[in-house]
A and B are shown apart, each in its own frame.
Chain A
């Protein structure tokens, strides 16, 4: 029976057969349908990094920054890695339990398995960005080694937060079918509001746009991951924001999951 979130998650990690294998096969099978399979999977990252990057390259001059093309490509790619992961965790989780209805009603009720499915797919999509990012970092002329080191814990934080977001949105989305639509509507706006294809410095300090950007949690997650790699300083405000966001989110989702997860089979 679905119960405590963390007990479920630990159980899921101990028994990864179901969620790992089904996510993997899902991806493989999608690629197998077409002749160029893997190329199509990779194409999205190439379009984003080099296509969007080239198209919006003039942006890099607006804020008075002197980033090279390579640096801008890396900026877009690293931003997309984090943004894409969190956004897909949010948007797929809102409907993940409804989509897995057949499994749940058949008795597979450890709901964390479905959450990890979502994260596993997001992780795979994220890894698809790596080739494009390696190329652009090489074009930019190297990275800050210390930045790569801090990127790992930052990524861990990204996934920890994606997990609780998925748990929270999953349970809420099972009860409120409108949540999925709402998230889908907001996602485009969230992309524009997060400095992926532009630089945070371009927002005039004190403006409404700047405060909207600072309010946006995705911005801070992107920052703590990307800024150290590209040798920018990481702002304490972002670290603080992420810390508070993580702790309060973990508490909220643990509570919601414990209180409402048992109703999910009835709701869907």
Chain B
């Protein structure tokens, strides 16, 4: 049987509890209100008329702002919430990777927790006893098998949860924004495993804000906004629609509010590094933040020292715009740095280029294209 998901006009109403707003809400009013105002029950519509269809081999990116209904949609697809109206057909076995810490008991040992979490996911204990070793190996916790879970750091717990969750192959994989903590080594292994797993699962649904991850993995995309499907199509057009939505939002927001926003993740690529003598270095490439805008500053890091770009010229890059579905094409840059004491390209090993929305807040390092140091 081939795996597929068909949603036709899905809507979901959910009851929520509201406290009455008290006027002149000082702390006394707040406490009194908490004690004596009965919460009111109100229905809210989390999803409205969502329709899409995906078949075998499709990898669907679910895009949208926080609270747009991405996780809710995954829960409906995972058969947790019954849709209020509409038809849903899911064929194929389905595994959700939504909550990495689920079913772990902090007083139990790591080995016990592998069983606990595994059976909570519906795995058989016989299957698990065969896989304990490989799960421990993947999470790098072999020598901690008989330690109690609370002795583990939160990063180690995520490793463990991820290792257990991905120990079995399903037709359909639902994933939430799980890329979080974890050291670089683990993230690399996790991504590798994810991608091979993604390669193995027939259908993947991934809700994330990580544009580069989505661009790497998905071939289709949908954009949700306030529970409505505002776009469905291939990944490029979906990213474009998402960026259009975000820039629309951004224009509406006031500049003052913008400063408050947390730095969006930045991605991009360094294409060339040219040493111009006298310690001057010219870096070319492109970069863009999670909202599709050009980051405001570039910082270079070498041997623990940071250098802010002295001059940044923006360059039109229509190819990048097309690939990531951006709204504007001026995401390329040519930046000049002053690095006293650097005379040869060989001295640049280990260099990192960061982009960020303010000099003090840099994003992750940009990828450096292979062959730059050649």
Asked if B75 and A105 sit within 8 Å, CB to CB, the answer is yes
B120 adjacent to A103 (CB under 8 Å): yes
A249-268 toward B: CB 8 Å interface, digit per residue (1/0)?
Answer: 00000000000001101110
A 87-127 to B, binary, CB cutoff 8 A, 1 in contact else 0: 00000000000000011111111000000000000000000
The answer to whether A103 touches B108, judged by C-beta atoms less than 8 angstroms apart, is: no
Given A107-B79, A262-B82, A267-B15, are A25 and B108 neighbors across the interface (CB < 8 Å)?
yes
Q: A138 at the A/B interface (Cβ < 8 Å)?
A: no
> Across the interface, do A106 and B125 meet the contact criterion of CB distance under 8 Å?
no
Q: How far is the CA of A32 from the CA of B94 in the complex (A)?
A: 36
Complex: A236 Cα to B125 Cα, angstroms: 46
Among the 9-residue stretches A15-23, A74-82, A141-149, the one with 4 or more Cβ atoms under 8 Å from chain B is: A15-23
Question: CB < 8 Å: which of B79, B99, B119 contacts A21?
Answer: B119
> Are B122 and A18 in contact, with the CB atoms below 8 A?
yes
> Which A-chain residue is minimally distant from B43 (CB atoms)?
A266
Chain B residues within an 8 Å CB radius of A109 = 79-80
In the complex the two chains form, is B122's CB within 8 Å of A108's CB?
yes
Contact between chains at A32 and B107 (CB < 8 Å) = yes
- Most chain B beta-carbon neighbours within 10 Å: one of A1, A21, A106, A265: A106
For residue B81, CB closer than 8 A to chain A, the reply is: yes
Note all chain A residues with C-beta closer than 8 A to B119: 17-18, 21-22
Q: Closest CB-CB distance, B116 to chain A, in whole Å?
A: 6
Interface residue from B81, B99, B108, B116 paired with A265 (Cβ < 8 Å): B81
B98 part of interface (Cβ distance < 8 Å): yes
Q: Does B105 lie within 8 Å of A29, measured CB to CB?
A: yes
Q: Which residue of B lies closest to A261 (CB)?
A: B82
A29: B residues at CB distance < 8 A: 105, 107-108
Is A35 among interface residues, defined by CB-CB distance under 8 A?
A: no
Rounded to whole angstroms, the CA-CA distance of A26 and B94 in the bound complex is 28
Least distance between B82 CB and chain A CB atoms (Å): 5
Q: Contact string, A172-209, partner B, CB cutoff 8 A, digits 1/0?
A: 00000000000000000000000000000000000000
B205 nearest CB across to chain A (Å): 13
CB distance from A181 to the nearest CB of B (A): 14
Pairwise interchain contact B80-A105, C-beta atoms closer than 8 A:
yes
At the interface, yes or no: B187 with Cβ under 8 Å from chain A? no
Q: Is B327 an interface residue (CB 8 A)?
A: no
B120 touches A18 (CB 8 A): yes
Interface residues of B in 76-110 (CB under 8 A from A): 78-82, 94, 96, 98-99, 102-103, 105, 107-108
Count of interface residues, chain A, beta-carbon cutoff 8 Å:
25
Chain A nearest CB from B115 CB (Å) reads 6
Residues of B within 8 A of A21 (CB): 115-116, 119, 125
Contact of B96 among A17, A107, A265, A266 (CB under 8 A): A107
Q: Is B322 an interface residue (CB 8 A)?
A: no
Contact with A along B105-147 (1 / 0, CB 8 A): 1011000100110011111110000000000000000000000
Contact yes or no, A103 B125, CB < 8 A: no
Interface of A is mostly: helix
A104 CB contacts on chain B under 8 angstroms: 80
Q: Are A263 and B125 in contact (CB under 8 A)?
A: no
Contact A17 B105 (CB under 8 A): no
Q: Which residues of A in the span 221-268 have a Cβ within 8 Å of any Cβ on B?
A: 262-263, 265-267
Nearest A residue to B80 by beta-carbon distance?
A265
Q: How far is the CA of A30 from the CA of B105 in the complex (A)?
A: 11
Chain A min CB distance to B103 (Å): 6
A1-B82, A29-B107, A29-B108 known; A108+B116 contact, CB < 8 A: no
Q: Is B15 a contact of A266 with CB atoms below 8 Å?
A: yes
Contact of B34 with A by CB under 8 A: no
The complex places the Cα of A49 from the Cα of B99 at a distance, in Å, of 44
Complex CA distance for A54 and B69, rounded to whole angstroms:
61
Chain B, residue nearest A104 (CB): B80
Whole-angstrom distance between the Cβ of A13 and the nearest chain B Cβ: 15
CA distance A254 to B92 in the complex (A): 29
Give the distance to chain A from B16, nearest Cβ to Cβ, in Å. Answer: 10
For A23-42 the 0/1 string (1 means CB < 8 A from B) is: 00110011011000000000
Q: Which residues of chain A have C-beta atoms less than 8 A from B123's C-beta?
A: 17
**CB-nearest residue of chain A to B127:** A17
Contact B116 A102, beta carbon cutoff 8 Å: no
Residues of B within 8 A of A107 (CB): 75, 78-80, 94, 96, 98
Known: A33-B107, A267-B15. A25 touches B116 (CB 8 A): yes
Confirm or deny: B188 has a beta carbon within 8 angstroms of a beta carbon on chain A: no
Most chain B CB neighbours (cut-off 10 Å) among A15, A22, A25, A107: A107
Contact indicator B120/A108 (Cβ below 8 Å): yes
Determine the chain A residues whose CB is within 8 A of the CB of B82 once the complex forms. 1, 262-263, 265-266
Shortest beta-carbon distance from A257 to chain B in Å: 14
Distance of A108 Cα from B94 Cα, bound (Å): 12
Contacts of A18 in B (CB 8 A): 119-120, 122
| Shortest Cβ distance from residue B104 to the other chain A in the assembled complex, whole angstroms | 10
Offer 9 A-B interface pairs, CB within 8 angstroms, sorted by A: A17-B125, A22-B103, A22-B120, A29-B108, A103-B102, A105-B75, A106-B80, A108-B122, A265-B80
Q: Residues of B at under 8 Å CB distance from A?
A: 14-15, 75, 78-82, 94, 96, 98-99, 102-103, 105, 107-108, 112, 115-116, 119-125
